[in-house]
């Protein structure tokens, strides 16, 4: 087990390194520097600015300094657009917001998805089953960028119950729409996965044995069937988490929640390369860590996985 974990970490570190190097060179391959403007600055001013941000050094040295800062001090450097703010400031401002609605969406998607899937499998071919299948098929065409406007139209413009955007420190009313918009399609996928694997488990021999022993239905479902049935769901949690972080790009731009996605898109439009790079690396690190944790969890729960 420990060897397996170490091996996964050994793959994760070069991945992150490659991501950092690729984003770094992408940033520097961009035509025109970050300080180009309509009116060209005098050469001496440009030289000063370049010296201040270390842009006059050879590229590999810049890369080294940057990576050293990120690894040793968790320092993503200064923002190119806002003189008084560092990338860390911008991330520290947006990240808690994204984590808050991301966390709630994740909870809603897994809890509702699993319950719906299990219920549908247990009541196979009942109305509940068809309802669950209908929802999960329908939600395929309702990704976050379709859900968000639909919710806004319903709750804000038609019913007038919820504010159309803003964050307000994470108030309940501001959380409802982002969480529903983000979680719907993942809830549907989790429900579908749970349903099909639960159906498979319920038809397997050991469940038949449990029934023959005379165990109650509740006991069979909760202490025998649910654990193996949730295995495929665990491997889906990694991608789901990544999807939620990525979805923040849409949620933030649409509901003006001010999370990390908004910072990313804003910096994309103003070509604030250092902010883009910092966020990409941070999200990459999170993605890789989360996938790794999901893998380890899977191997830990499923004895059939070869370590």
Partner 1 sequence: MLITDKILGDKLEGAEVAGRSLWKDARRRYLRNKAAVFFTIVLILIALFTVFGPLIAVTDHETIDFSMIGRAAQSGQPSISNGHYFGYDDQGRDLYSRVIQGTWISLLVGVVGAAVAVVIGTLYGAIAGYFGGRVDSIMMRIVDILMAIPFMFVLILLLVTFERSIAMLFVGIGMLSWLGMARIVRGQTISIKNKEFIEAAQASGVGSFTIILRHIVPNLLGVVTVYATLLVPEMILTESFISFVGLGVQPPDTSLGQLINVGAGNLHYGTIWQFLFPLGFFVVLIFSLFFVGDGLRDALDPKDR
Which among 106, 66, 132 has a CA at the least distance from the CA of 273?
Answer: 66
Shortest reach from residue 68's CB to partner 1, in Å: 22
Judge whether 226 and 283 are in contact, CB under 8 Å.
no
The C-alpha atoms of residue 187 and residue 167 are separated, in whole angstroms, by 24
- Hey, what are 167's tokens? 């964050």
Fill in the DSSP letter of residue 86: B
Which residue, 143 or 232, has its beta carbon nearer to partner 1? Answer: 143
Shortest reach from residue 149's CB to partner 1, in Å: 3
C-alpha distances out from residue 34 to 31, 37, 58, 217, 293, Å = 9, 9, 17, 65, 37
- Hey, what are 233's tokens? 């769901």
Task: Please count the CA atoms within 13 angstroms of the CA of 246 that sit on its side-chain side.
Answer: 12
The C-alpha atoms of residue 246 and residue 286 are separated, in whole angstroms, by 12
Shortest reach from residue 188's CB to partner 1, in Å: 12
Which residue, 220 or 277, has its beta carbon nearer to partner 1? Answer: 277
Which residue, 111 or 137, has its beta carbon nearer to partner 1? Answer: 137
Which residue, 130 or 153, has its beta carbon nearer to partner 1? Answer: 153
- Hey, what are 109's tokens? 């998607």
Which residue, 60 or 269, has its beta carbon nearer to partner 1? Answer: 269
Count CB atoms within 10 A of the CB of residue 92.
Answer: 10
- Hey, what are 292's tokens? 């790794």
The C-alpha atoms of residue 81 and residue 148 are separated, in whole angstroms, by 30
Shortest reach from residue 302's CB to partner 1, in Å: 19
Which residue, 127 or 269, has its beta carbon nearer to partner 1? Answer: 269
Question: Is 38 in a helix, a strand, or coil?
Answer: coil
Which residue, 49 or 146, has its beta carbon nearer to partner 1? Answer: 146
Which residue, 65 or 140, has its beta carbon nearer to partner 1? Answer: 140
Shortest reach from residue 14's CB to partner 1, in Å: 7
Shortest reach from residue 192's CB to partner 1, in Å: 12
Residues that bind partner 1 (CB under 8 A): 11-12, 14-15, 18-19, 22-23, 26-27, 29-31, 137, 140-141, 143, 145-146, 148-149, 152-153, 157, 164, 242, 245-246, 249-250, 253-254, 264-265, 268-269, 271, 276-277, 279-280, 283-284, 287-288, 291
The C-alpha atoms of residue 293 and residue 110 are separated, in whole angstroms, by 16
Which among 181, 189, 176, 183 has a CA at the least distance from the CA of 150?
Answer: 181
Shortest reach from residue 59's CB to partner 1, in Å: 15
Shortest reach from residue 189's CB to partner 1, in Å: 12
The C-alpha atoms of residue 198 and residue 110 are separated, in whole angstroms, by 15
């Amino acid at each position: 087990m420990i060897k397996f974990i170490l091996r996964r970490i050994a793959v994760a570190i070069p991945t992150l390194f490659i991501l950092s190097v690729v984003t770094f060179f992408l940033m520097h391959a961009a035509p025109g520097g970050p300080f180009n403007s309509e009116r060209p600055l005098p050469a001496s001013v440009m030289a000063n600015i370049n010296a201040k941000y270390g842009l006059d050094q050879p590229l590999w040295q810049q890369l080294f300094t940057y990576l050293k800062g990120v690894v040793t001090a968790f320092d993503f450097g200064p923002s190119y657009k806002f003189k008084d703010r560092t990338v860390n400031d911008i991330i520290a401002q947006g990240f808690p917001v994204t984590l808050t609605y991301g966390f709630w969406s994740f909870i809603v998607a897994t809890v509702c998805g699993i319950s719906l899937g299990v219920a549908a499998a247990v009541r196979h071919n009942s109305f509940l089953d068809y309802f669950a299948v209908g929802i999960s098929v329908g939600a395929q065409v309702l990704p976050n960028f379709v859900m968000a406007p639909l919710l806004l139209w319903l709750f804000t413009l038609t019913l007038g119950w919820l504010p159309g955007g803003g964050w307000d420190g994470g108030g309940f009313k501001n959380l409802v729409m982002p969480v529903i918009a983000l979680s719907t399609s993942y809830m549907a996928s989790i429900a579908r996965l749970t349903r099909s694997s639960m159906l498979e488990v319920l038809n397997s021999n050991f469940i038949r044995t449990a029934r023959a022993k005379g165990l109650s239905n509740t006991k069979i479902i909760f202490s025998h069937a649910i654990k193996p049935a949730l295995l495929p769901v665990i491997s889906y949690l990694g991608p789901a988490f990544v999807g939620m972080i990525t979805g923040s790009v849409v949620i933030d731009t649409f509901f003006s929640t001010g999370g990390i996605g908004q910072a990313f898109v804003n910096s994309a439009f103003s070509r604030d390369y250092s902010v883009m790079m910092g966020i990409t690396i941070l999200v990459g690190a999170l993605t890789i860590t989360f996938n790794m944790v999901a893998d380890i969890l899977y191997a830990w729960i499923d004895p059939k996985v070869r370590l």
